[in-house]
Amino acid sequence: MQIDIKVVPGASKDQISGWLGSALKLRVRAAPEKGKANRAVVALLAEALNVAPAAIRIERGHTRALKRVAIDDIGPGEFARRLGSPAP
């Protein structure tokens, strides 16, 4: 499945903040330099969804706050169940 996310780097803690329109908002402590924030996004989503980090790919927006992320081995219903939120 694919989802759009909005990333806020340099936050006080790593967390999923909820939905911002159709995008899932994530806050990460990592700085937006040398891919650190992107790696933090993958780690945060992998932990929250209980999937391997290798199952998560940033497909679009590598250098932007708005990103498109692909998550393998999980469907919209399971995504919603694991996050406790409605699927996008």
Q: In the chain, what are the domain boundaries?
A: 2-83
CATH number of the structural domain 2-83:
3.30.1200.10
Q: Please tell me the pTM assigned to this model.
A: 0.91
pLDDT at position 85, please? 61
Phi first, then psi, for residue 49 (nearest 5°) are -95, -5
Q: Residue 73 in contact with residue 79, Cβ under 8 Å? A: no
Q: Are 2 and 68 in contact (CB under 8 A)?
A: yes
The length of the chain, given as a count of residues: 88
- How do the pLDDT tens digits run along the chain, 88 residues long? 999 999 999 999 999 999 888 899 999 999 999 999 999 999 999 999 999 999 999 999 999 999 999 999 898 888 888 886 655 4
The token pair that represents 22 in the structure block: 């159709």
Only one residue has tokens 């209980």, namely: 50
- Judged by DSSP in three states, 19 sits in strand
pLDDT reported for residue 10: 96
